[in-house]
């Protein structure tokens, strides 16, 4: 289930200071420069790692964390950077704290641990002076009723880190520490130790921004100062305000990782054909199918997420039938010429964009999702015309959600055959073709045929023919 697509400008609330949470003593601190942003960052980090809230939900400007929504834009950007860095380096920071602390901090101590993680992120991984990070962390601990008894500990630990940072960070294997055991062991078993490390290392860096182009990708690469990558995608060279880029208003492109754009292209020439995009939101693949001239039916269970699909269709001047329905009970009016099933999955291939995923997912989540994928795959094949193509894809690195899923399907359904992916299908990205003929992109894979740029979302896709 691919998560990124770009898009629409959302209404912003008027900046105001966030309300104090229960038990906080904020008088005199709420207006202190930088305090509100650090407090919100610690709150959001805690919600992600302790309550398993998705970071996207916390940072949503319409329905996310109230304190975050109340911040000025520059402070919101700071919060994103701090929380993102805290999650990418979570294992390293925990190891550093083990070296700094004589004993573990007890539970029920407010945000002490989260405050320390936020401060250490600033000190080690962001361009923020130690003094600012330490002083604001101490203020925050002092303002939290349950954390207040540990104010001195926060001060001492952080100042010691400032003095002994080289010693405290020496010999840390960040690549390994920042990946939970269940994930790293899974990747090692599936891809081998060397590739598992390469995947984990790729996750330590933010993903680039890729655009899917409606027409003339090479021309738009020049216009936006990007590079042609994958198969008709453009990678931006530096961060930009998306809705202010050339071509946004006229709907010439949309944000979509180069790997996420590949599965739809495996359907080939679909002009004039009826095509279903199942689990369609947030809509990048729907836009691709519509741009290719298909008669698209976009189905998703979430009405709110489908609103984003509709908005992007309107911006790009394209059309599709939008259906809000549960695929477990929905039935189409007629069979389709082709189907794209972007199944719900663990999304472990998108950790570069969503650094919360390793800390909010567990191994058992993958098993539950695999059961849903099997059910949806079997149902979707009944909606396909004889001779039609179905592309099954997931933005997951887990074999249970990819290779194993298709192997089991081919064994139980002799009416389905695999049509191997070719280098031509992927714009020459041969590294991302498995020996079986699947699309299997990994986060460290080349994004250009010549290997000059690397970095793709981890995607699996299989092209199936209904015989």
Residues classed as catalytic: 395
Concatenated DSSP letters of 237-306: SS---GGGSTTTTTT-EEE--TTTTHHHHTT---TT-EEEEET-TT-HHHHHHHHTT-EEEEEES-HHHH
The helix (run of H) or strand (run of E) holding residue 365 is helix 363-382
Q: Is 139 labelled as part of a ligand binding site?
A: no
Q: Is 435 labelled as part of a ligand binding site?
A: no
Kindly report the backbone phi and psi dihedral angles of residue 181, in degrees, each rounded to the nearest multiple of 5, phi listed first: -55, -45
Q: Is 114 labelled as part of a ligand binding site?
A: no
Token couple for 52: 């398993």
E strands, 66-133, are none
- Whole-angstrom distance, CA of residue 55 vs CA of residue 421: 34
Of the chain, the end-to-end C-alpha distance in Å amounts to: 26
Q: Is 148 labelled as part of a ligand binding site?
A: no
Q: Is 457 labelled as part of a ligand binding site?
A: no
Q: Is 246 labelled as part of a ligand binding site?
A: no
Q: Is 284 labelled as part of a ligand binding site?
A: yes
For residue 329, give Cα distances in angstroms to 200, 353, 356, 380, 384: 38, 32, 31, 11, 16
Q: Is 257 labelled as part of a ligand binding site?
A: no
Q: Is 147 labelled as part of a ligand binding site?
A: no
- Whole-angstrom distance, CA of residue 278 vs CA of residue 1: 10
Q: Is 102 labelled as part of a ligand binding site?
A: no
Residues across the chain: 467
The binding site consists of 279-285, 300, 326, 342
The binding site for S-adenosyl-L-methionine consists of 279-285, 300, 326, 342
């Amino acid at each position: 289930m691919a998560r990124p697509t770009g898009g629409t400008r959302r209404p912003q609330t008027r900046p105001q200071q966030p309300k104090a949470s229960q038990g906080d003593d904020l008088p005199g601190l709420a207006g202190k420069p930088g305090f509100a942003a650090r407090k919100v960052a610690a709150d959001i980090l805690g919600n992600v790692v302790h309550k398993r809230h998705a970071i996207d939900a916390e940072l949503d400007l319409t329905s996310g964390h109230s304190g975050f929504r109340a911040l000025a834009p520059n402070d919101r950007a700071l919060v994103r950077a701090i929380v993102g860095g805290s999650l990418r380096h979570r294992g390293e920071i925990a190891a550093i704290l083990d070296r700094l602390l004589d004993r573990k901090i007890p539970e029920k101590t407010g945000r002490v641990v989260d405050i320390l993680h936020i401060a250490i992120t600033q000190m080690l991984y962001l361009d923020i002076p130690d003094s600012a990070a330490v002083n604001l962390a101490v203020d925050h601990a002092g303002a939290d009723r349950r954390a207040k008894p540990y104010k001195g500990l926060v001060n001492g630990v952080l100042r010691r880190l400032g003095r002994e940072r080289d010693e405290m960070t020496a010999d840390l294997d960040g690549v390994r520490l920042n990946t939970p055991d269940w994930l790293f062991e899974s990747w090692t078993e599936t891809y081998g130790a060397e590739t598992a490390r390469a995947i984990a290392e790729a996750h330590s860096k933010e993903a680039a921004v890729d655009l899917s182009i409606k027409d003339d990708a090479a021309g738009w690469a020049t216009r936006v100062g990007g590079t042609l990558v994958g198969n008709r995608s453009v990678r931006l060279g530096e961060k930009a305000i998306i809705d202010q880029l050339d071509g946004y208003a006229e709907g010439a492109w949309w944000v979509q990782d180069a790997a996420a754009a590949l599965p739809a292209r495996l359907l080939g020439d679909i002009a004039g054909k009826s095509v279903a995009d199942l689990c369609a939101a947030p809509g990048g693949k729907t836009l691709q199918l519509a741009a290719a001239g298909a008669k698209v039916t976009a189905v998703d269970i979430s009405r709110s997420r489908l609103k984003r699909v509709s908005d992007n269709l309107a911006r790009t001047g394209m059309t599709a039938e939008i259906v809000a329905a549960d695929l477990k009970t929905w039935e189409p009016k007629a069979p389709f010429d082709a189907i794209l099933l972007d199944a719900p999955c663990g999304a472990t291939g998108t950790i570069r964009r969503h650094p919360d995923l390793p800390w909010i997912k567990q191994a058992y989540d993958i098993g539950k999702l695999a059961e849903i994928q099997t059910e949806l795959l079997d149902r979707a094949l009944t909606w396909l015309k004889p001779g039609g193509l179905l592309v099954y894809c997931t933005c997951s690195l887990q074999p249970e959600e990819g290779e194993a899923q298709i192997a089991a399907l081919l064994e139980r359904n002799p009416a389905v055959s695999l049509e191997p992916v070719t280098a031509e299908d992927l714009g020459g990205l041969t590294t991302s073709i498995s020996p079986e003929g699947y699309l299997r992109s990994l986060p460290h894979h080349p994004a250009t045929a010549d290997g000059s740029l690397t970095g793709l979302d981890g995607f699996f896709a299989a092209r199936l023919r209904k015989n």
